[in-house]
Structure 1
């Protein structure tokens, strides 16, 4: 259930099919004790409703993104990425593969001629069963990563997504869910500046209309719990007029 909570927080930025919740709560749906992650990138996510619903029924946690350069991509490790390339023109160069360094990519293409050399692909539109079969095949080739590999580490801080825990110098740090998500996003950015807007979108979703000072309030609390001095930051540095990034090594 912890993993479901993690993905659920990210889903605020995703487009979830209108009928998905009803399908998940139907009487004939069994409880998924173990789930797998699937990240789908598509400029038209609504066109993949049936695929998303079938994956959910088969105990996949599905996250939908519109763009391959979404900063959330670096936060979701150890999952299969499905890239919708059906809108690309045959003569156009293939869209660069999204990558977070750990995830295999499956391309949805209109025909074999549209597939890039050496990439895993499946024709779409096509039988949903074939897409799921290909996903399962990729899963068998890329077994789940160990918890150690999935950990986010920065200096004395270790963030364990599988347990949703944070330690500093071996001592547990009790964070709220928002503080946890902020820390994870900043560490995952690996030194890149995360704007306040990016952080708000990633945590509360694009429909959130609160002020950017909400991020500052939670960062202030997070720093306090990490014993991080904002004047001489060891973990989280402020970039004036922009946002936050990891402090210099």
Structure 2
């Protein structure tokens, strides 16, 4: 049974959500603050985390940063309606997706299952295990990125996005193609998440993220990973 850790300090909300998730077949654990969440994760790592941004003491963003120091467990950030800045920052510190309160249970479960599918190991295929362009090397088997020989940490969605861009190096990749092939046909979130993840990738692989030479924007269409950009 898939285990979910719900981190939220509102007892009535947590109880109602737990009931709904159990009906959907999930095993649910709860934590009312960041410290309790980190202890729960260290004792028995859940399959997925639902993390509220507004927590007493240690904020959800700080909790996410701590979690990402030790594990790549799928994590969905929960924000109040209209807190777009918090949602973007959540993605930047390592969240795989975010939802805004109030939300429909059906939408939440769809996002949870989509994140879990993306995180689950995929059957091996007869394709290259390393994608290389210039001094950027993405090792699919090891799930590692090296830029100029230096190891660079990537969140799961950043890794999948870069892999898709590299596998199509030199070609324009439309936003619709990215949404379908990286986020999946069932993704129900805002397409602005593509821009957020591209920005995060650029910060990690570009010499000057404000003037990207590797991942370039093709206005009105999408993005292109330029071939063999080296210094």
Greater Rg over alpha carbons, structure: 1
With the shorter chain as reference, the TM-score category is 0.3 to 0.5
- Could you state the TM-score of these two structures normalised by the residue count of structure 2? 0.43
TM-score norm. by structure 1 comes to 0.40
Higher relative contact order (CA 8 A, sep 6+): 1
